[in-house]
């Protein structure tokens, strides 16, 4: 968490609003035109600075060894966007990433984006909807999809030879119903914040600045609510989601499961691979099941989050326990039995999921009772980080997609895989080491 920058010019987006409003009024009162008032506002932006004074005002560090938004305790809201690159010029991509990085750093500190010069058609420095709002722990996490390296057989930016082996083409999994409109992308930008407007604002600024170079391909919002400060949030099925994760405070576990080390290209060192899946839940069906059946499906108790046969949320699941009839207490095809490291040759991923809620849609379910009609388009924006997707998500989900009881109630409708480069030293830009080495 950043401390207030004492002694430096102080102006949060919130205080900016009050001061800018005053300036416009003063300029108007003094008989100056709107232009003069706008110039006065522009002058303020150069020292626009945040002053965290309570937890909602807290900011997360932007520069560093790793990108924010990976180990950062999950914020309440996310706005994820995948972009397609539309330029043919490598310099355009570099300049955009340079501009994106600088704007992201400013916004993470609660400042305005200061877009000027990025796109000749954009005359404002910031679209303004986050003026007056605190930094809200904003993080912006960038990722590179396969299309940055080569697309349709074309090496558009001279990067084809640098595509990491781990950035594989995702296999098609059992039951996948991925739709084009929610899948893929050459770049990913995930903003997370404790305020939905701050998260949206961040991606909107980057999209606006980049419109000649990259365009939004798909986007997805998400949210979580923690019942208490250190409590596990519940997903829309009503279960605690995030209990069994490798500990983000354990550097050994992070080095083993999340961060790319010497086993990847240098520019990925300190980075990670993100798998995102938009997973619709058949809630109308789920809500008609008994709690006991739901618990058998997940392998955990709904209320406490404890593994079946256990008492407390963080008890280790006893996979060998049987009931009086000799049946396993945690069923063979329960979600957690298929997910645990013991059953996946030790594979672990860092899950950082959000719920999503996109209203209702006409749907025909693929499992009994084969409901048809208006159903919620709501579910899980499953997001996980790992050192290598081949030994992380793909390893675990290959089996899960075939045998998990949960599959009857969920459908994967979109997603992507992106290489999130290592963190950025102050003044640098995202992916700099990639472009300098290729």
Binding interface with ligand HEM (CB under 6 A): 235, 237, 239-244, 277, 279, 281, 298, 300, 317, 335-336, 339-340, 349, 379-380, 382, 393, 396-397, 400, 410
- We find the least distance from the C-beta atom of residue 399 to ligand HEM, in angstroms, to be 9
290: Cβ–Cβ under 8 A, 6 or more apart, which residues?
none
Instruction: Return the closest-CA partner of residue 185 out of 159, 160, 167.
Output: 167
Q: Which is nearer to ligand HEM, 185 or 379 (CB)?
A: 379
Q: How far is the CB of 397 from ligand HEM (least distance, A)?
A: 4
> Least distance (Å) from ligand HEM to the CB of residue 280?
8
Strands 272-281 and 139-144, how do they pair?
A: unpaired
Q: Which is nearer to ligand HEM, 79 or 409 (CB)?
A: 409
Nearer Cβ to ligand HEM (148/410):
410
SS3 234: strand
ω before 127 within 30° of 0 (cis)? no
Question: Which among 69, 85, 357 has a CA at the least distance from the CA of 216?
Answer: 85
**CB-wise, 214 or 410, nearer to ligand HEM?**
410
Six-digit token string for 117 = 């010069």
Report, in Å, the least distance between residue 330 CB and ligand HEM.
Answer: 10
Which residue of the chain is nearest ligand HEM when measured via CB?
339
**Closer to ligand HEM by Cβ: residue 299 or 431:** 299
Return the number of the residue (185 or 305) whose C-beta is nearest ligand HEM.
305
Residues 278 and 356: beta-carbon distance below 8 Å: yes
Residue for token pair 């937890």: 55
Shortest approach of ligand HEM to residue 265 CB, angstroms? 25
Please answer whether residues 50 and 110 qualify as being in contact, where contact means their C-beta atoms are separated by less than 8 angstroms. yes
Q: In this complex, which beta carbon is closest to ligand HEM, that of residue 203 or of residue 347?
A: 347
Minimum distance of ligand HEM from residue 410's CB (angstroms) = 4
* Cβ count within 10 A of residue 84: 16
Structural contact between residues 126 and 205, judged by C-beta atoms closer than 8 angstroms: yes
Which residue number, 104 or 384, has a Cβ lying nearer to ligand HEM?
384
* Dist. CA 138–CA 237, nearest whole Å: 27
Contact 107, 138 (CB under 8 A): yes
Smallest distance, Å, CB 427 to ligand HEM?
37
Cβ-based nearer residue to ligand HEM, 241 or 375: 241
Q: What does 293-339 look like in DSSP terms, one character per residue?
A: HHHHHHTB-TTT-PBTT-SSTTSPP-TT-B-TTS-BSS-TT-HHHHH
* DSSP label of 218: E
Residue 198's nearest CA partner among 142, 104, 128, 135 is: 135
For the bound state, the minimum distance from the C-beta of residue 229 to ligand HEM, rounded and expressed in Å, comes to 18
CB of 262 to ligand HEM, least distance (A): 25
Helical segments of 127-177, H only: 146-149
Centre a 10 Å sphere on the Cβ of residue 436 and count the other Cβ atoms it contains: 11
């Amino acid at each position: 968490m950043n401390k207030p920058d004492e002694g430096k010019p102080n102006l949060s987006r919130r205080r900016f609003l009050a001061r800018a409003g005053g300036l416009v009024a003063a300029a108007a009162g003094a008989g100056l035109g709107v232009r003069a008032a706008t110039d006065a506002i522009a002058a303020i932006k150069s020292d626009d600075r945040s002053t965290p004074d309570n937890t909602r005002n807290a900011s997360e560090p932007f520069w560093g060894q790793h990108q924010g938004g990976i180990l950062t305790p999950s914020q309440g809201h996310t706005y994820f966007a995948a972009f397609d690159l539309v330029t043919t010029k490598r310099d355009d991509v570099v300049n955009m990433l340079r501009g994106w990085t600088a704007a992201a750093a400013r916004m993470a500190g609660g400042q305005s984006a200061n877009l000027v010069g990025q796109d000749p058609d954009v005359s404002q420095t910031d679209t303004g909807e986050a003026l007056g709002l605190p930094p809200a722990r904003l993080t912006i996490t960038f990722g590179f999809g396969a299309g940055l390296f080569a697309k349709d057989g074309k090496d558009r930016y001279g990067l084809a030879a640098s595509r990491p082996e781990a950035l594989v083409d995702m296999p098609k999994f059992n039951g996948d119903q991925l739709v084009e409109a929610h899948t893929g992308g050459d770049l990913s930008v995930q903003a997370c914040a404790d305020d939905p407007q701050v998260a949206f604002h961040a991606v909107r600024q980057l999209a606006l600045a980049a419109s000649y170079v990259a365009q939004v391909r798909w986007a997805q919002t998400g949210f979580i609510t923690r019942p208490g400060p250190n409590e596990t949030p519940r997903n829309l099925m009503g279960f605690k989601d995030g209990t069994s994760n490798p500990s983000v405070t354990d550097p050994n576990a992070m080095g083993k499961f999340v961060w790319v080390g010497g086993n990847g290209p240098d520019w990925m060192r300190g980075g990670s691979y993100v798998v995102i899946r938009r997973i619709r839940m058949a809630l109308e069906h789920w809500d008609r099941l008994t709690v006991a059946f739901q618990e058998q499906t997940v392998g955990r108790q709904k209320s406490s989050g404890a593994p079946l046969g256990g008492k407390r949320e963080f008890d280790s699941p006893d996979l060998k326990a049987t009931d009086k009839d000799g049946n396993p207490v945690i069923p063979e095809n329960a979600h957690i039995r298929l997910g645990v490291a013991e059953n996946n040759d030790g594979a672990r991923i860092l899950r950082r999921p959000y719920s999503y809620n996109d209203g209702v849609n006409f749907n025909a379910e693929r499992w009994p009772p084969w409901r048809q009609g208006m159903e919620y388009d709501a579910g899980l924006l499953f997001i996980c980080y790992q050192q290598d997707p081949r030994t992380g998500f793909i390893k675990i989900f290959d089996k899960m997609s075939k045998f998990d009881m949960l599959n009857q109630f969920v459908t994967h409708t979109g997603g992507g895989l992106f290489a999130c480069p290592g963190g950025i030293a102050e003044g640098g830009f995202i992916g700099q080491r990639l472009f300098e080495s290729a």
